[in-house]
Chain A
Amino acid sequence: MTQMEAPRIDSTRIAEVSRGLDRSEIESREKVFTVSDLGVSYHGKLALEGVTLDVHKNTVTAFIGPSGCGKSTFIRCFNRMNDLIPGAKVSGTVLYHGENLYDRDVDAVEIRRRIGMVFQKPNPFPKSIYDNVAFGPRVLGMRGSLDERVEHALRRAALWDEVKDRLKDGALGLSGGQQQRLCIARALAVEPDVILMDEPASALDPISTARIEDLMHELKRDYTIVIVTHNMQQAARVADMTAFFSVVVDEDGSGRRGVLVEYDSTTKIFTTPSDKRTEDYVTGRFG
């Protein structure tokens, strides 16, 4: 073309900036977890049944669904937290980088180092800010400068600038949002591979919530993040993939258990979900 030359501006920019990764792009990434036919029961009663899904590297994967759908039970399977609950039994398989997480010779403590967890309520130790972050590396006898490790973790958790002049102050003096970022820094200090977050922002104000969400976007470059949230819009904002769980009640009303209804790219879940139950939930007509 002579006059109508091709545009100077890179036309793919819109797509690149978008977080709306499509499913094939996500699924081309390495599998961190491969879950097959997973079920969890407490004292013989099924809480969750038949869950099959993959979690991919450097993505944020969100689990959403109404209360009692088993999403928190499910996330606890990823670092064997259910081992700590009396009467809990896990069936099916969870492969972590191809290895069965529930094999007898797997060290649950090592698993929890590589797969860190952040809980709903910030739970810093009643120690200094510094000691909270240094605790894990100390216990594990990790090599290298502890100061550098603490600083690095606090920087990664976007907290360093706010606390660098008062590292010896008690962690409980921090605001709720800062405490939650401290807990993220504490999880990062032991060099994990995966960060599990169980309702990480539900006890926080909107500004602190936005900070945590920004942080998730930042952290997924280096980590794989799995989040449980009852806040659908939070899943819409931060997640690449979203799994919707729902509750199935037995015909005779004797039992209720969680099931995975739909698992797809977040874009798909929030624009054109395949299952009517997902549509009803995300549009606020159910649950």
Chain B
Amino acid sequence: MRVEFQHELDALEAGFQEAGEIVVRAIRGVIDALRTQDVELCDEVIAFDDEVDARYLALEKQIELVLARQTPVAGDLRLVIALLHSGLHVERMGDQCVTIAKLTKLSSHLGTRTAVVESLVDMGERCEEMAKISLNAFATRDLERARTLHALDELVDRANRQVFQEVLGYVNDAEALEWGMRQITVARCFERIGDNAVDIGEQTAFLVTGEFAEFTDASHDTLH
């Protein structure tokens, strides 16, 4: 029953997963670029973001049509809403990758400091894992898996603070400090990617339970 409508929902979900898969590759791209300080790879990541944007726009357009023409209700409505939100989170993850790539390019002439680069790579790899988990939990409607994202995000946040502390130590070295300031922003971008993965997890929870609740509320966290 409602075969066409089901096809449309399936296509929406496939489109979302496809955008997600591309973003995971973009995250992998910036991790490699950071580790090797590969400026060309940075350019590739920047150009690659058009792929993400195109898919996000297609998804958004298609969701508009489904809402206008199929009037989804109940679980179908939750799916469409969750896809609209999650699609935007994926698109933003892609934007963060672009920023990381640009910053890596900008600071490439300043020389790297191994400790910070290692922390950033570690953050990136955690983010890559989180992005994969968020997409997979959404696809399989796995609430438990979605909830694990919060704990993983704590580790990313911790790594973010470590980078900050490390850069504070460069205060007497102007070049290192300039490089380090840019790396703080890189870390902040990864931290946002982690948050976006958690957001997708929250959308999965909404999809499964019908209730929206943030896994954490940053405005009520105690500052460390």
Contact = CB atoms under 8 A, between A and B. Distances in A.
Interface residues of A, number: 28
Interface in A1-18: 1-4, 6-7, 9, 11, 13-15, 17-18
A146 interface: no
Nearest to B15: A14
Interface string B1-12: 111110110111
A161 B4 CA distance: 21
B144 to A, nearest CB: 27
B29 interface: yes
A217 B7 CA distance: 12
Nearest to B71: A233
Interface string A179-221: 0000000000000000000000000000100110110010000
A3 B41 contact: yes
Nearest to B40: A2
B69 A217 contact: no
Given A11-B55, A214-B3, A236 B70 contact: yes
Contact of A214 (B1, B29, B69): B1
Contact of A271 (B29, B32, B59, B65): B65
A109 B18 CA distance: 53
A2 B44 contact: yes
A207 B1 CA distance: 8
B54 interface: yes
A156 interface: no
A15 B26 CA distance: 24
A19 interface: yes
Contacts of B223: none
A7 B8 contact: no
Contacts of A11: 18, 51, 54-55, 58
A237 B55 CA distance: 24
B15 A18 contact: no
B54 A236 contact: no
Interface string A245-277: 000000000000000000000110011000000
5 shortest interchain CB distances as A-B pairs? A17-B11, A236-B69, A14-B15, A4-B44, A270-B68
Given A11-B18, A11-B54, A18-B11, 4 more contacts: A3-B28, A7-B21, A9-B21, A14-B62
26 contacts: A1-B48, A2-B41, A2-B44, A7-B21, A9-B14, A9-B21, A11-B18, A11-B51, A11-B55, A13-B14, A13-B15, A14-B14, A14-B58, A15-B62, A17-B11, A18-B8, A18-B11, A18-B62, A20-B62, A214-B1, A236-B68, A236-B70, A267-B65, A270-B69, A271-B64, A271-B68
